[in-house]
């Protein structure tokens, strides 16, 4: 009796989809690369409604110096599930020579070497063009004048044209412009179409704390300013999120709520916050100076306010060398988490995240459960460095904060050595 040989490439569609349902995003990417048949079947699966329950994969996006390569840099991501570094293949020269300035919903916001902005999905290779940095609100012009580099000409409060700063290369531009970016879809939750919007915090003055919100609509194709610009540390924006057709923009002691109906955001409410007393006692109890960074994140329908306490190491005995051999001049030592009661305009301290984890940094602030990302540590805050100026000691401050034990432990510390861009948390999206 002759036995018929079974071919893996000819698996029935129903059986193939049942297998995919049990795999993470990173595993599905590997399956897609096996053969042309599986490639097509995975694409069909991703575009179908049943893929909505697909388990997410967490990766850390960064870039490294590449010896022997004239470009000097390559982008890579570290898969948290298997602790392996993967080099991104087939990136265009414009992106490879540019700088990643944000991440949101599995997409990266790139500033390329021509000062053009674009969204890039490193898993599906999809790309969405965004209006140039030159078209930002308040920007009069950007010129390159050797040897000082790029001059960024803005319109100040008195309507005078002034030079905000200079940058030697296009890669240094975001430090003076983009602090945070969030992406949202106007029609398709998977962000698979070209009807999308971007909301960014960008710097508009010579101080890094003078910031402004800018809104981009892909159908209109231009940037628009929102509200009035912040005039100092107390007024600058720290974080932004999008939830239930509303934008939440956080200043030091004020939360702005903007309604968005698909056309243009309208500010509908301001909530006053009292934050100073919550961390002043921490400053007084420590032997070092502290810096504070604020975040907002949506978690199971609740809006959380997160305070990050960063120690500025001013004593030589406190300094330690990182994996790259350079001194680390600051480190995160603690977090405080509060739930926002927007009706009563008060903050309620949170001691548990109910089995979830928060991911903070220059990425879109998000929270996930262990059901969505199996490898995460529950009731923890994953954080990456909040500073990036291209200096040797930037990028090292990353770890996991355990909300229960109130301790910080290093995380992937030895993997981030001489990175060329700030590290970003990224949640794989195949659309």
Q: How far apart are CA 173 and CA 124, in angstroms?
A: 27
Strand partners, 104: 107
**In the predicted model, is pLDDT for residue 206 greater than 80?**
no
Sheet holding 254-259, edge to edge: 239-243, 246-250, 254-259, 266-272
Nearest to 82 by CA among 126, 30, 17: 30
According to the model, what pLDDT value does residue 50 have?
60
pTM: 0.83
pLDDT digits (tens, 9 = 90+) for 298-310: 999 999 999 998 8
> What percent of the chain is predicted at pLDDT more than 90?
18
- 225 is written with which tokens? 């300013």
Q: Tens digit of pLDDT for each residue in 298-348?
A: 999 999 999 998 887 755 555 565 555 566 678 888 999 999 988 888 888
pLDDT (0 to 100) of residue 372: 77
Q: Which of 33, 39, 41 is nearest to 14 (CA)?
A: 41
Residue 41: predicted pLDDT: 83
- Compare 210 and 55 and report the one with higher pLDDT: 210
CB burial string 230-267: b at 16+ within 10 A, e below: beeeebbbbbbbbeeeebbbbbbebbbbbebeeeebee
221 pLDDT more than 70: yes
What residue ranges of the chain are covered by domains with CATH 1.20.1280?
9-55
Q: Does domain 9-55 have CATH number 3.30.450?
A: no
């Amino acid at each position: 009796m002759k036995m018929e040989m079974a071919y893996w490439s000819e698996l029935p569609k129903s059986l193939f989809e049942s297998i995919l349902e049990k795999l993470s995003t990173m595993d599905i990417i590997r399956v897609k690369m096996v053969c042309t048949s599986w490639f097509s079947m995975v694409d069909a699966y991703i575009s179908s409604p049943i893929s909505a329950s697909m388990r997410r994969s967490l990766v850390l996006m960064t870039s490294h110096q590449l010896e022997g390569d004239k470009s000097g840099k390559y982008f890579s991501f570290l898969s948290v599930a298997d602790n392996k570094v993967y080099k991104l293949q087939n990136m265009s020269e414009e992106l490879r020579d540019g700088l990643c300035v944000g991440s949101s919903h599995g997409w990266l916001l790139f500033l390329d070497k021509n000062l053009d902005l674009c969204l890039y999905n490193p898993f599906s290779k999809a790309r969405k063009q965004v209006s140039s940095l030159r078209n930002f609100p308040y920007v009069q012009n950007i010129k390159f004048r050797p040897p000082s580099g790029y001059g960024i000409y803005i319109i100040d409060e008195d309507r005078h044209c002034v030079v905000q700063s200079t940058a030697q290369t296009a890669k240094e531009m975001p430090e003076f412009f983009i602090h945070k970016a969030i992406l949202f879809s106007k029609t398709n939750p998977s962000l698979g179409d070209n009807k999308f919007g971007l909301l960014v915090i960008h710097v508009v003055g010579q101080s890094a704390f003078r910031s402004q919100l800018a809104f981009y609509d892909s159908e209109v194709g231009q940037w628009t300013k929102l509200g009035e610009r912040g005039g100092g540390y107390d007024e600058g924006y720290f974080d932004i999120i999008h939830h239930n057709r509303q934008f939440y923009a956080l200043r030091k002691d004020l939360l702005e709520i903007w309604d968005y109906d698909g056309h243009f955001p309208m500010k509908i409410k301001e909530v006053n916050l009292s934050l100073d007393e919550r961390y002043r006692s921490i400053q007084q109890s420590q032997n070092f100076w502290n810096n504070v960074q604020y975040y907002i994140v949506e978690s199971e329908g609740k809006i959380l306010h997160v305070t990050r306490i960063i120690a500025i190491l001013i004593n030589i005995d406190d300094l330690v060398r990182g994996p790259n051999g350079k001194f680390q001049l600051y480190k995160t030592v603690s977090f405080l988490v509060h739930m926002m009661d927007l009706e009563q305009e008060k903050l309620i301290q949170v001691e548990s995240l109910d089995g979830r984890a928060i991911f903070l940094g220059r990425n879109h602030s998000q929270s996930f459960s262990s059901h969505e990302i199996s490898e995460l540590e529950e009731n923890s805050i994953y954080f990456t460095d909040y500073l990036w100026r291209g200096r040797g000691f930037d990028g090292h401050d990353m770890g996991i904060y355990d909300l229960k034990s109130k301790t910080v432990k290093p995380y992937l510390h030895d993997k981030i050595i001489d990175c060329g861009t700030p590290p970003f948390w990224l949640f794989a999206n195949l659309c």
